Structure 1
């Protein structure tokens, strides 16, 4: 039996989240909130129309900028919630210590994990670090080709009778 290196020396690839729910840059802050609530996540990577990584919107930013007195702000693009400069990303081979340092430096509780071309391959959150420190084993999803599983949920509005939809039976 081979002993694992200490947590801070392990690569982030061992503990990063691979299956990520993303949100399109054109979606609203309200859609980001809905997705976070439905999926029970606190971080949503934001992608452009080609799937390129733009940044991460987190629940803390969303709630701290929410203004119930100005409902039109809920419709503002999610990109308005991104920091002016994206947080430093790390590579999958970076150590957990490097990821924690990047979080501290950027003042966030997450760090994006990108490949050599800047393509998002995962996300490490403070929860991932705490889980690893506590020795919680994660279910490792089988990798099928090196690309992360990125999910995008598209809103579907119900049809209304008299507006081109079918009337209920």
Structure 2
């Protein structure tokens, strides 16, 4: 079962700057290209850092305020002051850059963005060279998959190939990315695995699990006492 990766949704036409790019040109490029961040790369295309709008706004934020270093200055205040004084990309960028590989899953990319508090990830190859960029909005593209494509993956990959379940045992319907599984299997474990794997299919928003089972092999003691079996007979 193939899971969507960063390479499936990333933007490959990426605007970049080098370390010596002046502040004003950085602002102009962001405005012209309608982007909120620019990777900073060296002559080999390797990512050195990223300049975001937040990095640039420190110069506006501290207009009219003294930029001299203060005693007991906090780390954030110091970083803001340094960037407010910066005039080239080298001093404006946040480094090292948090990046992703083309093979990074969308789940991993989303977790990285959340953990690092960032909105985009430069995508690099094995040598650290820029090949694309992925944003939070790009990660949502997986939920634009057609329902028929999602159903195909659930039926052919999850039920047939991985679990060996016949088409007449479980029916699959998909509406708006929500998958409904209905039918009957011999064991509870098979039903639960089918539901768990279905949730991992790219584009699945939620699952409605209506699959019943003949034998509870997950908790057979309760099942044998009749708590999971209306008849109490195995």
Match of 2:137 in 1: 127
Q: What are the ranges of 5 or more consecutive residues in structure 1 without an aligned counterpart?
A: 138-169
Contact 2:56 2:92 in 1 (8 A): yes
Alignment of 1:1-169 (within 5 A): 9-66=3-60, 67-69=62-64, 76-87=87-98, 89-130=99-140, 132-133=141-142, 135=144
Match of 2:188 in 1: none
Following superposition, the deviation at residue 133 of structure 1 comes to 4.9
Contact 1:28 1:74 in 2 (8 A): no
2:144 counterpart SS class: coil
Relative contact order (C-alpha < 8 Å, sep 6+): which is higher? 1
Q: Deviations over 1:87-143 (max 9, x none)?
A: 2x221111001111111222110112111111111111112223x155289xxxxxx
Inter-partner Cα distance in structure 2 for 1:64 and 1:128: 28
User: If you compute each CA radius of gyration, which structure gives the higher value, 1 or 2?
Assistant: 2
Following superposition, the deviation at residue 69 of structure 1 comes to 4.0
Inter-partner Cα distance in structure 2 for 1:109 and 1:49: 25
Query: Per the alignment, do residues 78 and 103 of structure 1 end up closer, same or farther by CA in structure 2, a change over 3 Å counting?
Result: same
Inter-partner Cα distance in structure 1 for 2:100 and 2:46: 16
Inter-partner Cα distance in structure 1 for 2:24 and 2:122: 23
Q: Note the aligned Cα RMSD (angstroms).
A: 2.6
Query: Per the alignment, do residues 84 and 93 of structure 1 end up closer, same or farther by CA in structure 2, a change over 3 Å counting?
Result: closer
1:19 counterpart SS class: coil
Higher relative helix content: 2
Inter-partner Cα distance in structure 1 for 2:7 and 2:47: 18
Query: Per the alignment, do residues 11 and 41 of structure 1 end up closer, same or farther by CA in structure 2, a change over 3 Å counting?
Result: same
Following superposition, the deviation at residue 27 of structure 1 comes to 0.8
Inter-partner Cα distance in structure 1 for 2:10 and 2:117: 19
Following superposition, the deviation at residue 25 of structure 1 comes to 1.1
Q: What are the ranges of 5 or more consecutive residues in structure 2 without an aligned counterpart?
A: 66-83, 147-234
Please, what TM-score do these two structures have when normalized by structure 1?
0.64
